[in-house]
Chains A and B, each alone.
Chain A
Amino acid sequence: MAAQTPSVPSHRALTILGLVLFLGGWEIAARTGLLPAVLIPPPSSIVSAFRREAGSGMWLTFVLSSLRHYSVGVLIGSTLGIALGVASALWPLLEASQEGVARLLRPIPPIAWIPFAIIWFGVTESAAAFIIAIGVFWLNYFAANTAVKGVDKGLIELAYAFGQGSLVKRLLKVVLPGAAPGIFSGLRAGLGMGWIAVLAAELFGITGIGQRMMEASGMLATDIVLLYMFTIALLYAVFDGAVVWIADRSLRWTQ
């Protein structure tokens, strides 16, 4: 008799269920007084907070402003990070010469760069983008570097064996495809890091979600803080979803 596999709910169904239980449980705990609203407001308060913020057009303003320096920062940070990460993995000389500098600069959190950002760019969008780019850069740099180093050396030898050993041919046909999964990982991690840096970037007076959250924090308007937490989560999901879509199509061979 054939073995019966018990029907397991799909991955997606479980994900949604988990979310519903989390939000539902939270809402119920708040309504029944188990969770005092002064500690943390219920998820339903996000809706009313949104109505107030969106009504005056503020929500959209903050979102667009943050998206501006976020996108620029992520774009520049990712591009430079990947380019330099790949280059230093391919040229030991390059890597050795900047390794000391990299070790020095890497652990410095984006927030620490604020004074220099202001001095170099003024209190402008560029300064905010710069701070975001720094965080994103290091993540992509090390992910790309590791990914390139991890490419099977046997495949490099293969390239030379079949006349595909020139730099461009090796890069396009072996190194980049081989490093792609790791590079995409770094890209996705950078997207998350970008939002962390947004808060730091807006600390000194740049308009945006982070700034609004700090303001609301100061007023203990926890429902507004919650609203923007969720907003960030939503925006991140959109960007991440786009990258995952691209990655899935480029990495069909890993499936």
Chain B
Amino acid sequence: MVKPDSNYKLFIDGQWVDGKEGKTFKAANPANGETLATCVDAGKEDVDLAVSAAWKAFETWKHVSPQERSRMLLKIADLIDANAERLAMIETLDNGKPIRETLGIDVPLSSDHFRYFAAAVRTEEGQAVMIDQDTLSLILHEPIGVVGQIIPWNFPLLMGAWKMAPALAAGDTVVIKPSSTTSLSLLELAKLMNQVLPPGVVNVITGRGSAAGNHILEHPGFRKLGFTGSTEVGYTIADAAAKKLIPATLELGGKSANIFFPDAPWEKAVEGVLVGILFNQGQVCCAGSRVFVHADIYDKFLAECVAMFNQVKVGLPWEKDTQMGAIVNGDQLQKILAYVEVGMKEGAKVACGGKRITAGGLDKGFFMQPTILAGVDNRMRVAQEEIFGPVATFIKFRTEAEVVAMANDSEYGLGGAVWTKDINRAMRVANAVETGRMWVNNYNNLPAHAPFGGYKKSGIGRETHKMILEHLTQKKNIFISLSEAKIGLY
């Protein structure tokens, strides 16, 4: 079986280097507790070196033609595909997600992301406008500089692709930090990128958010920050960006509404509940965690979902028939179990699951039963707060207006779906729900080429689409007088 390296260093200026403070942390397999590797717990001096390397590289990278940048991104995509099995298995071992997901989703979506931006950058054009007969205005897109990026533990490889591919396409250089919970796949990706990119264009800093993460936020050398994570940390990122007067794009938390009408395509809809909340063990920012079901079908739909949840194979994530793997660590499992307790105290009923799994050789890992809390009121904490686990909250509704009001009664607005065969109703509901992504008769599809990002406290900016290039470039206006004549004012 594929194994990660036993030690990973920092990737700075095209070199693998030790941390200046000599601190390290262990990466552990959440499915069995085994240590996978030792990584560097970076400090301030390491961040300084990475930012300096990125600026040095920017001086040449910004002049590399779009054609050449595109070619390099395509080469990175090819290398990802050529190393798909290794990347997928390392992600599975480090994160706990099933190999069928890492091999079938995380890795191919990552390579496709590089291909999408390789293509997108070739279509980027400035503008030329004749302001009047004698005046030409040119608008040019220029790279913004060194970008600081911090990504979460739930999709480390894919979020790395989401962040780095557009930045490199735009001509920026990058200092990126994965979560200390799951650092390995990004470090593996850095090895591949090192075969293609000039030194310093991408720099990977590992370590704790409270150390390396905060040093990135405090560092004066960034021209933009990009972050995916919780809303609370999002405030901290926005604060740091404001103090430096630089832009930040933020993809934050969610509590998304997955809405089912009586005319939903039934079998696909039932599966849509599982796809919405069990994919990646429910550790997805846009998870369909609030399941709104029309009163006319509520009891039957709930019963069928319970039956399906009970059939899900929870198991060791590297086994091919495992449908749900391990929760990312013990802290997250404690949190999920505590939320189940909160729901019960609030009056919700556990329709299925609700407990940790230790039987069947899973006692050394952090496994959770697929869980449905039924009879939930939308104002309960379990319907308002992000549980970030395989816990669906079922809420009954009677009218379209009522369900739209409940869907919008949330501080978040990241994902959501409506399931119906009535196209008029689908469009009405999709338009009315305040969210950045509304699926119709599907869920959790996240390909490149469709913008993703949040309304309200779910974030600022959009990714997975060429519109992110707007955030990663600055606009130079060259204003040209074509006339030989004086203005005549003096």
The finding on whether chains A and B are genuine partners in a shared complex, rather than unrelated, reads no
Residues of B that sit less than 8 Å from A by CB: none
Residues of A that sit less than 8 Å from B by CB: none
